[in-house]
Chain A
Amino acid sequence: MIEIKNVGKSFQGKEVLMDISATFEKGKTNMIIGASGTGKSVLLKTIVGLFSPNKGSVLYDGRDFHASTIREQKIIRGEIGMLFQGSALFDSLTVAENVRFPLNIHSDMSESEKDDKVNFYLKRVGLENAAHKMPSEISGGMQKRVGIARAIVMNSQYLFCDEPNSGLDPQTAWMIDQLIHEITQEYNLTTVIVSHDMNSVMEIGEYIMFMYKGLKIWEGTKDEILDAEPKELKDFLFSNKLVRTFKGI
Chain B
Amino acid sequence: MRRLGEYILFLKKMFSNREPLTTYVRLFFQECINIGINSLFLVGFVSLFVGAVIALQMAYNIVSPLLPKYIIGLATREMMILEMAPTLSAIVFAGKVGSQIAGGIGTMRITEQIDALEVMGINSASYLVLPKIIAGMAMLPLLAILSAALGIWGGYLATIFGNLSPTEDYIYGIQNTFVSFEVPFAIIKAFVFGFIVTSISAFKGYNVKGGALEVGKASTDAVTASCIAILAADFILADTLLS
Contacts and interface: CB of A to CB of B under 8 A. Distances in A.
Interface of A: 45, 48-50, 70, 73-74, 77-78, 80, 82, 84-86, 88-91, 101-102, 105-106, 160
> Which interface residue of B17, B19, B120 has the most chain A CB atoms within 10 A?
B120
Contacts of B118: 49-50
Nearest to A76: B121
B112 A86 contact: yes
Contacts of A82: 116, 119
B113 A90 contact: yes
A86 B113 CA distance: 9
A105 B122 contact: yes
Nearest to B107: A91
A84 B115 contact: yes
B120 A102 contact: yes
A49 B123 CA distance: 13
Contact of A70 (B17, B115, B122): B17
A106 B119 contact: no
Given A105-B19, A105-B23, A73 B112 contact: no
B209 to A, nearest CB: 12
Contacts of A49: 118-119
Nearest to B127: A105
Contacts of B119: 48-50, 77, 80, 82, 160
A73 B112 CA distance: 20
Interface of B: 16-17, 19, 23, 107-108, 111-113, 115-116, 118-122
Given A105-B19, A105-B23, A73 B115 contact: no
Given A105-B19, A105-B23, A74 B121 contact: yes
Contacts of B120: 77, 101-102, 105-106
Given A70-B17, A105-B23, A88 B116 contact: yes
B112 A84 contact: yes
A101 B115 CA distance: 14
A85 B112 contact: yes
Contacts of A86: 111-112
A73 to B, nearest CB: 7
A106 B17 CA distance: 14
A105 B121 contact: yes
Contacts of B16: 70
A90 B27 CA distance: 15
B112 A77 contact: no
Contacts of A73: 121
Given A74-B17, A88-B115, 5 more contacts: A78-B121, A82-B116, A84-B115, A91-B108, A106-B120
22 contacts: A49-B118, A70-B16, A70-B17, A74-B17, A77-B119, A77-B121, A80-B119, A82-B119, A85-B112, A86-B112, A88-B112, A88-B113, A88-B115, A91-B108, A91-B113, A101-B120, A102-B120, A105-B19, A105-B120, A105-B121, A105-B122, A160-B119
A86 B108 CA distance: 11
